[in-house]
Amino acid sequence: MANSFFEKINYSACNEDSESERKALRLTTEDTILCITGSGARSLDLLIDSPKKIISVDFNITQNYLLAIKIAAYKSLNYTDFKSFIGLENCSSRQEIYKKVEILLSLEAKTYWDKNFDLIEKGILYCGTWELILRTMAKLAFFRRKEIKNLMESHTVAIQQDYWTKHWDNAIWRFFLKIISNRFLWTKIVREPGALLIPKEFDIYEYMRSRMYYMANNHLLRTNHFANLLFYGEYKPDCLLPIHLREENFEIIKNQVDKIEIITDSLLNVLDNQKLVGSVNAYSLSDFSSYADAEMYNEIWGKIVKNTTNEIKFCERFFLVKREPEKLSNLIERNNVLEKQLYDEDLSAIYTFCVGRIKVTV
């Protein structure tokens, strides 16, 4: 999908809950996973289960530069400097810390980051298009600061539910949802190419409204990292951070970042490279359907099935573009029970799941 949108970093923090991929894929030390890079969060999170290897693919080279600098930061820093450098904490010495990080970057990645040093200065964690939109919205919502505080500081889901029903879910909230569900905003103003792929009959507003209602009635927002991004535009101190950003996981991730191989190419091409994907037995595909028309989507799944020599496990997310890959091949077996469980449990709440295995023919 040629578009200037894919020449900048669009995702930088984490807008998914990788616990779902962990439950779906149940990775072991024997597994080699092909993972979409995006913010790099999922590729890093999945290291927690010590797989053999992660092949992290994105056709947007800047997303891969972001993962590369996060990896270099793990390798060169301790946790205190790491969290300051990436932007989890305020910091006035990122230039100083970058001197330790840059020596581990490839020439191309270093050239990119030298040229875009302003992103490092502000903290790379929140530099994506999506994160910038959320931060701007959080600032514009200054007149609802008291309500946001009450909602986000609820100590139990029951208190939160009550607050949502009595004070939050009002005309202002619905108006806001109408704005962010507006196709014109995404196609013409944000120029998000994926917006053109959302079926015309899909009611974005109703979907978002019901999923936000579900989230507020089932997951404690105070500790939920996705809700922190949505309502504050950043991770606050009470937030349970994404797996790879937690202090207790820092050394585990740091010791394994070399297991990640980064590839800049489209899934379509990568899946043709038998030498590379021959060893893959798990796919973590995030929501690539958001950027693939039906033809490309089917071609990608066709190649995944064709490549299958050993049993494959997969976990794909769907945001606003829902697909049915199992209709392409009877070797694709979806686990609807687990999909429903993940739909209910995933902290980000906005995704449905496509989880299962590809059988091998004997």
Ligand X SMILES: C[S@@+](CC[C@H](N)C(=O)[O-])C[C@H]1O[C@@H](n2cnc3c(N)ncnc32)[C@H](O)[C@@H]1O
36 touches ligand X (CB under 6 A): yes
What is the DSSP pairing of strand 312-318 with strand 282-286?
Answer: parallel
15 binds ligand X (CB under 6 A): yes
In the complex, the smallest distance separating the C-beta of residue 337 from ligand X, rounded to whole angstroms, is 24
Least distance from ligand X to the Cβ atom of residue 67, Å? 10
Q: Which DSSP state fits 94?
A: H
231, 22 Cβ separation under 8 angstroms = no
The single residue among 20, 38, 125, 304 that binds ligand X, judged by CB under 6 A, is 38
CB 304 → ligand X: shortest distance, Å?
A: 12
Three-state DSSP state, 273: coil
Q: Which residues pair with 354 in a beta bridge?
A: 316
- Chain positions 39 to 98 lying near ligand X, rule: CB under 6 A, are 39, 41, 57-60, 63
Burial 319-341 (b: 16+ CB within 10 A, else e): bbbebebeebbebbebbeebbeb
Asked if residue 233 binds ligand X (CB under 6 A), the reply is: no
Contacts of 55 (CB under 8 A, 6+ apart): 32, 33, 34, 35, 261, 263, 270, 276, 277, 280
Output DSSP code: residue 200: T
**Residue among 68 and 97 whose Cβ is closer to ligand X:** 68
Check residue 325 for interaction with ligand X (CB under 6 A). no
Structure tokens at 346: 């995933």
Minimum distance of ligand X from residue 39's CB (angstroms): 4
Q: Of 65, 74, 235, 291, which lies in the binding site for ligand X, with binding defined by CB under 6 A?
A: 291
Q: Residue 353's closest CA among 16, 86, 37, 39?
A: 16
CB of 37 to ligand X, least distance (A): 6
Binding-site member from 33, 280, 292, 304 for ligand X (CB under 6 A): 292
| Binding residues vs ligand X (CB under 6 A) | 6, 11, 14-16, 36, 38-39, 41, 57-60, 63, 266-267, 286-288, 290-292
